[in-house]
Amino acid sequence: MGISSRVPPTFQSAAPAALADPQLRRNLGKATTTIRAKRAAVAAEMPDWEGLRERGRRVKEDVLRNLDQYLLQLEESVSEAGGRVHWARDGAEATKIIGDLVAASGAREVVKVKSITTDEVGLNEALSARGVEPIETDLAELIIQLAGEQSSHFLVPAIHKNRTQIRDLFRASLDRPGLSDDPQELAEAARLHLRKKFLDAEVAISGANFAIAETGTVGVVESEGNGRMCLTLPKVLISLMGIEKVLPTFGDLEVFLQLLPRSSTGERMNPYTTLWTGTTPGDGPEEFHLVLLDNGRTRVLADPIGRQALHCIRCSACLNICPVYERVGGHAYHATYPGPIGSILTPQLLGAGKHDSLPFASTLCGACVDVCPVKIEIPRVLLHLRGRSVEGSRWPITRARSGHRASSFQERLVMRLLGWVFRSPRLYRLGLRLGRHVQRRFANDGWIQRIPGYGSGWTLGRDLAALPPESFRDWWKRQGGGESE
């Protein structure tokens, strides 16, 4: 599900299977509702939450305006502190750099801190191909790895599973036949499985939530303590970071260490915040390598509207509030980055022709803007990418059964016809009468659940409200209110 050269299935072709899974919807609904409520409560405690969001947005804008300078400053600071910086133009270069570093250490296993960026480049698969076993140490990532699945959420990768499903997985994979579905027992089973891995590991691989250009400090925030184990015990630490994660000064952490936990886990602070600057003899890893990844980010930076996607701090607040994501989950997006932010980030990272359907995986309700801690205007970028897709004749809405793409010419023709109808009150009234007549075959209890032919794609995952028996204008005229014109 990471970034690859193949053209993935469209969201519209993948979503119906997810919509048909009631257990998935129950799992997602319960988890996202809980997280939303916690986030709202802790955000409301802040005396100037909106001011904090605005400051975060401004810091991110400054980073993107001066990204080249901050990255060079970061490289210098890390090097002065005893670390080494590597530059990767794409995922292939990143996995080769990391694979070569692991090979030089002689390690056959590596422990990993949860990292979306390593998923983006397909690092686990690349290491396995070189005979190295990557071991996920985050509980949810371990669940996904044991199940042979892909993450479906930034914060809670196994959000699509309930504890009974996890119990059955652990019984089979960890040889614990008597395990119950009690959360404490499940966590203890994972802890016992991972403890020896932590102590034996020679190499650890992490992502990075932030890196400070001023000092060369790199930071990871997490909730379980597995990150602290990985970041301090092994001799070699390799961190893969998207180039947009750099922050100018150490003081900027004050902003984001307040925004991130409240927006992601609904907590006032992260249980574990690990910061390190280079290497220190006799304390922590003996080698530190920071791999800076482009992988399409400079292409995104070149778009004045689309570059907002690079502000993202991976809090997942937009996923938890999105009505589309809540009903289909992350796997329907067939991308490392799902949900609203993934719908604007993934197509830009990949470029034209791949994941062009994702900007259409939205109702444009705008809820994502209200909760985004750095005020990314996701609906605006969605519309921008939709327009770019249509102009490039890559219209992604699919027909219901054939799976063929409808042409942009057909879409423009439909919109032009509707424009004529909406400009003429007479044609509009005629259209309403015709619509009421036609819908008799399909309407049931005020809803249309299926439209045949070309329009069938609209009802694959939604019901349409039927036209009312009488319009307001006709009712007004019948009541003696004058002409309906």
| Burial of 131 per CB tally in 10 Å (0-12, 13-18, 19+) | exposed
Q: Are residues 292 and 424 in the same domain?
A: no
CA distances from 273 to 137, 209, 254, 258, 268 (A): 16, 10, 12, 12, 13
Query: What is the rounded distance in angstroms from the CA atom of residue 204 to the CA atom of residue 266?
Result: 28
Q: Are residues 149 and 274 in the same domain?
A: yes
Q: Which tokens is 354 given?
A: 């791949």
Planar angle of CA 339, 115, 331, nearest 5 degrees: 35
Give the residue from 246, 278, 298 where a domain finishes.
Answer: 298
Q: Are strands 203-206 and 109-112 parallel, antiparallel or unpaired?
A: parallel
Query: What is the rounded distance in angstroms from the CA atom of residue 331 to the CA atom of residue 279?
Result: 39
Residue with the two structure tokens 């004749």: 393
Q: Using the Cα atoms of residue 366, residue 370, residue 372 and residue 376 in order, give the sign of their dihedral.
A: positive
Q: Are 128 and 134 in contact (CB under 8 A)?
A: yes
Q: How many domains does the chain have?
A: 2
Helix residue spans in 288-407 (DSSP H): 297-301, 317-321, 323-328, 339-350, 367-371, 378-391
In a domain, 208, yes or no: yes
Query: What is the rounded distance in angstroms from the CA atom of residue 208 to the CA atom of residue 150?
Result: 20
pLDDT at residue 405, rounded to an integer? 47
In a domain, 384, yes or no: no
pLDDT at residue 475, rounded to an integer? 87
Q: What are phi and psi of 71, to 5 degrees?
A: -70, -40
Per-residue pLDDT 10s for the chain (485 aa) are 455 446 678 888 889 899 899 988 888 888 899 999 999 999 999 999 999 999 999 999 999 999 999 999 999 999 999 999 999 999 999 999 999 999 999 999 999 998 999 999 999 999 999 999 999 999 889 998 999 888 888 888 888 888 999 999 999 998 888 899 999 999 999 988 888 899 999 999 999 999 999 999 999 999 888 899 999 999 999 999 999 999 999 999 999 999 999 999 899 998 999 999 999 999 999 999 999 999 999 999 999 999 999 999 999 999 999 999 999 999 999 999 999 999 999 999 998 778 889 999 999 999 999 999 999 999 999 999 998 887 765 444 443 333 334 445 666 787 888 899 899 988 988 988 888 888 888 888 888 888 877 667 677 767 888 888 888 888 888 888 765 44
Query: What is the rounded distance in angstroms from the CA atom of residue 50 to the CA atom of residue 257?
Result: 15
Query: What is the rounded distance in angstroms from the CA atom of residue 185 to the CA atom of residue 217?
Result: 36
Q: What are phi and psi of 21, to 5 degrees?
A: -105, 95
pLDDT at residue 246, rounded to an integer? 98
In a domain, 330, yes or no: no
pLDDT at residue 3, rounded to an integer? 53
pLDDT at residue 401, rounded to an integer? 35
pLDDT at residue 454, rounded to an integer? 67
Q: Which tokens is 152 given?
A: 């479906």
Query: What is the rounded distance in angstroms from the CA atom of residue 205 to the CA atom of residue 113?
Result: 6
In a domain, 134, yes or no: yes
Query: What is the rounded distance in angstroms from the CA atom of residue 372 to the CA atom of residue 315?
Result: 8
Q: Which tokens is 85 given?
A: 């910086």
Query: What is the rounded distance in angstroms from the CA atom of residue 319 to the CA atom of residue 317?
Result: 5
Give the residue from 298, 322, 339 where a domain finishes.
Answer: 298
Nearest one of 400, 104, 58 to 255, comparing CA atoms: 58
Q: Which tokens is 22 given?
A: 């009631």
**Can you state the angle between helices 22-45 and 253-264, rounded to 10 degrees?**
140
Q: Are residues 261 and 132 in the same domain?
A: yes
Bridge partners (DSSP) listed for residue 136: 112
Q: Are residues 281 and 422 in the same domain?
A: no
Nearest one of 308, 268, 245 to 57, comparing CA atoms: 308
In a domain, 261, yes or no: yes
Query: What is the rounded distance in angstroms from the CA atom of residue 75 to the CA atom of residue 98?
Result: 17
In a domain, 443, yes or no: yes
The predicted model scores a pTM of 0.82
Nearest one of 197, 426, 315, 467 to 340, comparing CA atoms: 315
CA distances from 371 to 255, 368, 453 (A): 16, 5, 38
Bridge partners (DSSP) listed for residue 206: 239
DSSP 280: B
In a domain, 71, yes or no: yes
Range of the domain at 459: 410-478
Q: CB within 8 A of 41, min separation 6: which ones?
A: 266
Query: What is the rounded distance in angstroms from the CA atom of residue 316 to the CA atom of residue 273?
Result: 18
Q: Are residues 290 and 416 in the same domain?
A: no
In a domain, 327, yes or no: no
Q: What residue type is 289 in one-letter code?
A: H
Q: Are strands 464-465 and 447-448 parallel, antiparallel or unpaired?
A: antiparallel
Q: Are strands 272-277 and 217-222 parallel, antiparallel or unpaired?
A: antiparallel
Task: Assign residue 284 the CATH number of its domain.
Answer: 3.40.50.10420
Give the residue from 263, 298, 333 where a domain finishes.
Answer: 298
pLDDT at residue 392, rounded to an integer? 66
Helix residue spans in 202-252 (DSSP H): 226-232
